[in-house]
Amino acid sequence: MEEAEPTRMPLIGDEAPSFKATTTQGEINFPKDYKGKWVVLFSHPADFTPVCTTEFMTFATMEDEFRELNTELIGLSIDGIHAHIAWLRTIKEKIEYKGMKDVEVNFPVIADIKMEIAKKFGMVQPGASDTQAVRAVFIIDPKNKVRAILYYPLSNGRNMDEVKRLIIAMQKSDAEQIATPANWQPGDDVIIPPPGSCGMAKERVETKEDDKYCLDWFICFKKDKK
- Binding-site sequence positions for substrate: 135
Binding site: residue ranges?
135
Q: Point out the residues that are catalytic.
A: 52
Which residues are bridge partners to 149 per DSSP? Answer: 138
The verdict on whether omega for the bond into residue 31 sits within 30 degrees of 0, i.e. cis, is yes
d(CA 87, CA 46): 10
Give the number of C-alpha atoms closer than 13 A to the C-alpha of residue 152, restricted to the C-beta side.
19
Q: Which residues of 61-84 are buried (b: 16+ CB within 10 A; e: fewer)?
A: bebeebeeeebbbbbbbbbeeebb
d(CA 205, CA 198): 11
